[in-house]
Structure 1
Amino acid sequence: MSEPTFPPLLQGHPVQGGEDPFERAQAMAALGCDAGTVVYNIQADRLRAAIVFAPEVPLRDAMAMLPLCAVGFQNALGALAPPEVAVHLDWGGLICVNGAACGQFRVAAASASPAEIPDWLVVGWEVALMRTVDAPGETPDVTALYDEGCADVSPVHLIESWSRHTLTWLNRWEEDGNAPLHGEWMGLLRGVGETVEHGGTGGVFLGTDERFGMLIRNDTGTHLQPMSALLGRET
């Protein structure tokens, strides 16, 4: 299998075996690797990748890199998959294909303080290519790309496409701020208008504020779950 080719400003770093690119990317970032380093692991049953950022804004604003990378992934898979394949995102990082869980985004940063500019921020994701245990139909809320008509989607091409779409959105974000990204992301979010629970707060998911924080309304009012609450957490 050929290695992915990345656009200018991004550098690929493959890892092998069972090594987690998200963990490796954090270690490399802590040691001072270049921003734009993309660590990835292509396995038979799953694809994992992570990208290193060097924010120039406080964490509360830098957390926009999570929805930015997620929108980049949706755009990439949407361009490569058959047109009938629906790709949506969950506020907590879940990747859904045709309504079932197929992958997950994660985020980590050097600092958890919303007001501080972190030395680094890493966004990682993984997506299931094929099932290794359950047969299709046994777990209808969980799926894999190859079960959803995406057997012709090359993992190499998916990483390449994701990196290009993510870089495009990064350039747009730097020029135009959150508004265009927010509009795109809101159109892809699952669960808006439904009852949810995050961080111990339950209620109706109203959407997100201008910094992508989750707005939940219940009998006591409208509550904000900032996106920084997702640091180091899988949902």
Structure 2
Amino acid sequence: MSNADPAPDEVDCRASRFAGVLQAREVPLGGPRAMRVRRTLPARQRSMIGAWCFADHYGPHDVANATGMDVPPHPHTGLQTVSWLFQGEIEHRDSAGVHAMVRPGELNLMTAGAGICHSEVSTPAATTLHGVQLWVALPDSDRHTGRDFAHHVPEPAAVDAATLRVFLGELAGSRSPVRTFTPLLGAQVGHPPPPPPRGGGGPGRGP
């Protein structure tokens, strides 16, 4: 695995029975003057939750007039990276020849396997950037699996008063077709937007 934090906290990776709330810490993404993110995993109290070994939450950042995401090519090994956006757009390139965009509500899952390099840069189309970057540790039996990349757009499903988008695993009858190497669940759960006012005719939508 890799960690772009230039001065990471020391983490005890031994098994732990910690149970509680992990507090995120703020770190720069790629340098002291870079965009800052809130990192929950790894933490001093716990280095992993199941196979989840890394969790960054960033934004909402106004990047129209400020520095956006600019992470130069860097290596990974033995993991999968999960990119999920709420707002904005990020350009992904990797050493396997994949060039893809990360957009809200669309999963990009990169499998590093034995090794891969990739870069992530917010695009000029992104005026606000808000999302999460998650890592999944591969089990020892699959650490050297082949490099891969998957893109998936989960259909939103209504569950009671919530809207559910399952991008990894299965929940409430929704299932992601994207392959993981251990049982995982990744989903966005939110309240649906309010209906438009009656007779007022909401804002027009272009083609």
Whose RCO is larger (CA < 8 A, sep 6+)? 1
Same fold (TM over 0.5): no
Higher Cα Rg: structure 1 or 2?
2
TM-score where L is the length of structure 1? 0.27
Query: Which of the pair is proportionally richer in helix?
Result: 1
Query: Which of the pair is proportionally richer in strand?
Result: 2
